[in-house]
Structure 1
Amino acid sequence: MMIVYDSHTGVGKRFAESLGYPAQSVKERLDEPCILITRNAGAGKIPWSTKRFIKKHPGLIKGFVNNGDSVKHGRTYCGATPLIIEKYGLKHIRDIDRGGSLDDVKAVQAFLAEL
């Protein structure tokens, strides 16, 4: 299982790498099932890089985690989550705040263990 991240500041990349599985950017070629660690663009929108990745690999994505900042973005915190579910039908694993916590890591690892 691969962990694919779309990270603008490096926070999502660090979370992806903390899960203990191979990790790579959405910009790299993908040939195996994955979960996606994504982010929000603007006021809770889906980043274009995430949209492109999902359209290119719809059958390989087993779920997604959305990384946001509840302090900085308040009411638009993880606003891309319902949009991704509605538009692409992906399984939502978890929203994480500012790179996640140890509980977030454990929850995502538990999801991965069940796949």
Structure 2
Amino acid sequence: MLVVYASKTGNVARFVERLPVRRLWIRSGEERVEEPCVLVTYTTGFGQVPAEVERFARENWAWVEGVAASGNRNWGANFAKAADTLASRYGWPVLLKFELSGTEKDRERFLEALQRLSP
């Protein structure tokens, strides 16, 4: 399955680039997909969804089958909150929340979640 992602500091990019998946980097939010995908994003500010991810989600929501987000546990309740916000807004399941660029175990969990989504 296609993994579509946004990365500001490189943490999400490092996470996704270590996965054996096809991927598309959201740079402006104007990217379009016409196939099932999952969305991986960073969380910005104090738990907000990045603007480019908001734009992408509005135009491609029907193709997205799940969402994951990176964050910093120092943010407490706002840790990786972009995933929760998008899941609530669009009805997507939260596949994973991970800190910074994630661990090997996080990548394994993410791949397991992808397998559960695939027919």
Q: Given the two structures, how large is their TM-score scaled by the length of structure 2? A: 0.86
The equivalent residue for 1:25 is 25
Shift of 1:30: 2.2
* Match in the other structure for 1:79: 81
List alignment gaps of at least 5 residues for structure 1: none
Asked if 2 retains the 8 angstrom alpha-carbon contact of 1:40 and 1:66, the reply is yes
User: What aligned pairs does 1:1-115 form with structure 2 within 5 A after superposition?
Assistant: 1-27=1-27, 28-71=31-74, 73-114=75-116, 115=118
Conserved? CA contact 1:19–1:108, under 8 Å: no
**Letter of the 2:94 counterpart:** H
Contact 2:41 2:82 in 1 (8 A): no
Shift of 1:39: 1.2
CA distance in 1 between counterparts of 2:107 and 2:58 reads 26
The SS at the match of 2:108 is: helix
Question: Bigger shift: 28-37 or 83-92?
Answer: 28-37
Query: Which stretch shows the higher mean deviation, 39-48 or 74-83?
Result: 74-83
The alignment partner of 1:56 has SS state of: helix
CA distance in 1, matches of 2:23, 2:17: 6
Task: Supply the AA of the counterpart residue of 1:6.
Answer: A
* Partner SS state of residue 59, structure 1: helix
How many aligned positions are there? 114
Of all paired residues, the percent bearing the same amino acid is: 27
Q: Normalization by structure 1: what TM-score?
A: 0.89
In the alignment, structure 2 segments of 5+ residues that lack a partner are none
Distance 1:102 1:88 in 2: 28
